[in-house]
């Protein structure tokens, strides 16, 4: 399966939504996001289909 074109990935993985609990949000080329849960931080790391080898 071929990767999606870079311009489409940037549209799908770039957010203009602002939330004060999101320390580092989604961006094209980033491997993780950081969310402030109060006493702890949650680091989310997706495994996107666009980077998978079949």
The 10s digit of each residue's pLDDT in 8-50 is 777 776 666 678 888 887 676 777 888 899 999 998 886 655 5
Predicted pLDDT at 15: 64
Residue 1 included in any domain: no
Enter the pTM of the model.
0.53
If one counts the domains in the chain, the total is 1
The pLDDT value recorded for residue 53 is: 53
More confident residue, 48 or 7: 7
Considering the domain boundaries, does residue 38 fall inside one? yes
Asked whether residue 26 is domain-assigned, the answer is yes
Please say if the pLDDT value at position 2 is more than 70: no
Structure tokens at 20: 């004060």
Which residues, in sequence order, are CB contacts of 44 under 8 Å at separation 6+? Answer: 32, 33, 34, 35
Sequence-distant (≥ 6) Cβ neighbours of residue 18 within 8 angstroms = none
> CA-CA distances (angstroms) from residue 4 to 16, 45, 48, 50?
21, 19, 11, 6
């Amino acid at each position: 399966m071929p990767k999606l074109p870079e311009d489409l990935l940037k549209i799908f993985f770039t957010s203009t939504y602002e939330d004060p609990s999101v320390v580092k949000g989604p961006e094209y080329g980033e491997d993780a996001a950081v969310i402030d849960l109060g006493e702890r931080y949650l680091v989310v790391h997706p495994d996107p289909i666009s980077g998978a080898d079949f």
